[in-house]
Amino acid sequence: MALVSRLGEGLPEWTDPDAVVEAARQWLAGYFTPEQDHPGAVFVAEGEGEVVGVVSVNTRRHFTGSMEAYIGELAVAPHTARTGLGRRLLSTAEAWAREQGVSQMTLETAASNTTARRFYAGAGYREEAIRFTRALDQPV
Ligand SMILES: CC(C)(COP(=O)(O)OP(=O)(O)OC[C@H]1O[C@@H](n2cnc3c(N)ncnc32)[C@H](O)[C@@H]1OP(=O)(O)O)[C@@H](O)C(=O)NCCC(=O)NCCS
C-alpha cells in the first residue's frame, strides 16, 4: 500500500494526486476483500524483507468485445528504479493473464507520465486510445 503513493506521480496538473492515490488504495484493497470474489491477482516483489514492488492485474471486457487482462496498479520502490523490477512485475502479470486464457493485456496511464510511457513502450505496448477530458466549470 505504501508503494501506491507513487501513482500520484506524473499526473496532469489539473488532477488531484491525493485523490488518485486514495482511489488506487481502494482498488488495491478490493483485491483482498473476500466477499468481492475478485478474480484478479496482486503480485509483490520482496527485497531484504520489504515489499519493493507491486502489480495488480485483472480481466475485463475490451471495447472490441473480447476479454482482456489489464494492469490496475504497478509501482516499484524509488530506490530500485531502473533495476528491471518493473519489467519483471509486468512479465509476471502477463504470465498470469496467459493462464487466464486471454491473449491481450491493456492498461491506462496518464499522458503526462513520461516515465511510464517509455517503460511500457519499451516492453512492447502500443498506444491504443486517447481519452479526452474537460473541466465543465471552465470556459472553453
Ligand atoms: C514505471 C515503473 C513501474 C518502472 O519500473 P522500473 O523498475 O524502474 O523499470 P525497469 O527498471 O524495469 O525499466 C525497464 C525499461 O523501461 C524504461 N524506463 C524505465 N524507467 C524509465 C525512465 N525514468 N526514463 C526512461 N525510460 C525508462 C527503460 O527502457 C528501461 O530499460 P533500461 O533501464 O534498460 O533502459 C516505475 O518508474 C514506477 O513505479 N513509477 C511510478 C508509478 C507509475 O507511474 N506506474 C505506472 C502507471 S500504472
26: nearest Cα among 68, 66, 72, 69 = 72
Beta carbons within 8 Å of 66's beta carbon, 6+ residues apart: 102, 104
- Count of domains for the chain: 1
CA 119 – ligand 1 centroid, Å: 5
Query: Does residue 40 fall inside a structural domain?
Result: yes
Please report, for the domain that includes residue 41, its CATH number. 3.40.630.30
Please give the residue range of the domain that contains residue 22.
2-122
Is there a domain that residue 134 lies in?
A: no
Q: Would you state the pLDDT for residue 34? A: 77
Cell of 18: 491525493
- Cβ–ligand 1 distance for 76 under 6 Å, the answer yes
Task: State the closest ligand 1 atom to the C-alpha of 78, by its place in the atom list counted from 1.
Answer: 39
Q: Is residue 133 part of a domain?
A: no
For 43-95, how does the pLDDT look when each residue is reduced to its tens digit (9 = 90+)?
Answer: 999 999 999 999 999 999 988 899 999 999 999 999 999 999 999 999 999 99
User: pLDDT digit string (tens) for 90-130?
Assistant: 999 999 999 999 999 999 999 999 999 999 999 999 999 99
Model pLDDT, residue 38 = 67
